[in-house]
Amino acid sequence: MFEREANLEVDVEIRDDLTAVLTVGGELDMETAAGLQDRLSEQFGHGRRRLVLDLSALDFMDSSGLNVLIRAVNRVRESGGDLYLAAPTPAVRRILEITGVTMTIPPYDGVADALAAAVAAG
């Protein structure tokens, strides 16, 4: 179920009671960050503590998007879970690296790798 908000698309795939994969596409910026925040909050509300963000279709992300990621990782880690970033595009990976976010949330090459890490972490 894709939900369209400005230039952002977020598709949620539930893997199990604790795990969800959110595929994020388009542009994550000041206009669209609240949409992703809402989708993440829904997952927290359902008790999901292992969240994989597939960023392979994300063309652009600014500081608003970074703030959503940082708030989300802090919230999920407080509940004993974690946030996993998968397959960021080169432009998004560069932003993550320049800002040091990769030190807190290391990106994985693909969704399968991120899911394997999430399952291994428990």
52, amino acid identity: V
Q: Is residue 90 assigned to a domain?
A: yes
CA–CA separation, 42 and 3 (whole Å): 13
Q: What pLDDT does 5 receive?
A: 44
Q: 52 near 76, Cβ under 8 Å?
A: no
Q: Is residue 35 assigned to a domain?
A: yes
Q: Which domain range does residue 54 map to?
A: 2-111
Q: Is residue 118 assigned to a domain?
A: no
Q: Is residue 67 assigned to a domain?
A: yes
Q: Is residue 41 assigned to a domain?
A: yes
H or E element that contains 61? strand 50-61
CA–CA separation, 47 and 7 (whole Å): 28
- Domain of 50: which CATH number? 3.30.750.24
Q: Is residue 117 assigned to a domain?
A: no
* Confidence (pTM): 0.92
| Structural domains in the chain (count) | 1
pLDDT in tens for each of the 122 residues of the chain? 454 446 999 999 999 999 999 999 999 999 999 999 999 999 999 999 999 999 999 999 999 999 999 999 999 999 999 999 999 999 999 999 999 999 999 999 999 999 999 989 87
Q: 105 near 74, Cβ under 8 Å?
A: no
CB atoms within 10 A of CB 68: 23
